[in-house]
Amino acid sequence: MLTPDMSVDMRTYLAHVELANPITTAAGCAASGAELAQFFDLARLGALVTRSITMAPRAGRPTPRMAETPSGMLNAVGLQGPGVDAFLELELPRLVERGARAVVSIAGGSVAEYTALARRLADAPGVAAIEVNLSCPNVEDLGRVFARDPAASAEVVAAVRTTMRYDVPVVAKLAPDVADIVAVARACVDGGADALAMINTPLGMSIDVDTMRPSLAAGTGGLSGPAIRPLAVRCLWQVHAALPGVPLVGMGGVLTGRDALELILAGACVVAVGTALFHDPYACLRILRELEDLLKERGFERLADAVGLAHRPPGAGPRHRIDLEESSL
């Protein structure tokens, strides 16, 4: 029997890179780690995923950039950031010094720009993985978002994959508001993605009925928070069912350990926390603790045994319980 004080093996793999635990920050929700480091030791995270880095510095979108919505928020930050040079000089080295595993998110407007970013990051020490933010408008396709087009997504992923060092996994980050997420997922894997992350924010909008104008200066914005969790679960479920061997990073409205477990049961082996960080700087550590307790209560010895478990056929008992009975003989 599993005794209550036994700890669960929380290790997980992002492709071949081992993470001490499955909880990471979500891109764009923890900047480059310096602010969170005031609250806790970043080495306690599975990984810190940076904001999406662009080639040139970017001022982002005009304000207001944020509007709260029921159990969520809309944002139109527009990838404000210092550009890759300043990131490599000032931000990444600090992150590595702090002992964090750094997953670097990149964003571009063309295949060439993603390739150039990958080239700049290829030799940077301390990059545990690259996450390719595909929710960016393709300037060569009238601003159509890469993530909505399987072929364009695959092209970006292939370019980054061939440019990055072979031992740095490339994670393709997908958007949920597409006609067929499995088609985009499959195209990215065929293009060489070692893992997939989902979901980025679906596009939403709110209108202030007092001013009778859109709440955001940009009009539309990305919806995040608990409001989108069912969308994340659905996407993970569909992609895990179609591509069971591909490691998935799940995100979308995770506030508690229970929410993280839901995404894991749908197929995620890593869970990223975004909007919850705005509410609670310690959210990642709390969620990790709650997740470990929930796994323990359910008799799991390893996190890995829970990944995708909801896909087992109806009527089949939870796999781990059978294991337990056998091992206690």
Partner 1 sequence: MQVTGTVLTTRRVDAYHALTVVAPGIAERFRPGHFVSVAVGGPRTSMPTRRAFSVHDVKPDYGGTVELVFSVRGAGTSWLAERKARDSLDLVGPLGRPFPVPRDPCACVLVGGEYGSASLFSLADTLQQRGCRVDFVLGAASADRVFGALRARRMGETTTLTTEDGSLGLRGRVTDVLPSVIADARADVVYASGPMPMLRGVTAVAVEFDIPVQVSVEESMACGYGVCMTCVLPVLGDDGVTRMVRSCVEGPVFRGERVRFEDIGTIPFDALGAPGGRAQEGGAHTRHVS
Active site residues: 136
Please tell me the distance from the alpha carbon of residue 277 to that of residue 29, in angstroms, as a whole number: 7
Cα four-point dihedral sign 20, 22, 28, 31: negative
Examine residue 280 and tell whether it contacts partner 1 (CB under 8 A): yes
Question: Residue 130 is encoded by which pair of tokens?
Answer: 């690259």
Whichever of 153 and 200 has its CB closer to ligand FMN, that residue is 200
Least distance CB 135 / ligand FMN (angstroms) = 6
Examine residue 251 and tell whether it contacts ligand FMN (CB under 6 A): yes
State which of positions 294-313 bind partner 1 (CB under 8 A): none
State which of positions 185-204 bind partner 1 (CB under 8 A): 200-201, 203
Least distance CB 60 / partner 1 (angstroms) = 6
Provide CB contacts within 8 A for 40, sequence distance 6+. Answer: 281, 282, 285
Examine residue 217 and tell whether it contacts partner 1 (CB under 8 A): yes
Please tell me the distance from the alpha carbon of residue 92 to that of residue 280, in angstroms, as a whole number: 24
Least distance CB 294 / partner 1 (angstroms) = 17
Examine residue 215 and tell whether it contacts ligand FMN (CB under 6 A): no
- Give the residue carrying structure tokens 């919850």: 276
Examine residue 220 and tell whether it contacts partner 1 (CB under 8 A): yes
State which of positions 81-120 bind partner 1 (CB under 8 A): 81, 83, 107-110, 113, 116
Least distance CB 53 / partner 1 (angstroms) = 12
From partner 1, ligand FMN, none, interface partner of 145 (C-beta below 5 to 8 A by class): partner 1
State which of positions 16-35 bind ligand FMN (CB under 6 A): 26-29
State which of positions 290-329 bind ligand FMN (CB under 6 A): none
From ligand FMN, partner 1, none, interface partner of 45 (C-beta below 5 to 8 A by class): none
Q: Where along the sequence are the contacts to ligand FMN (CB under 6 A)?
A: 26-29, 51-52, 75, 77, 79, 105, 133, 173, 200-201, 222, 224-225, 228, 251-254, 273-276
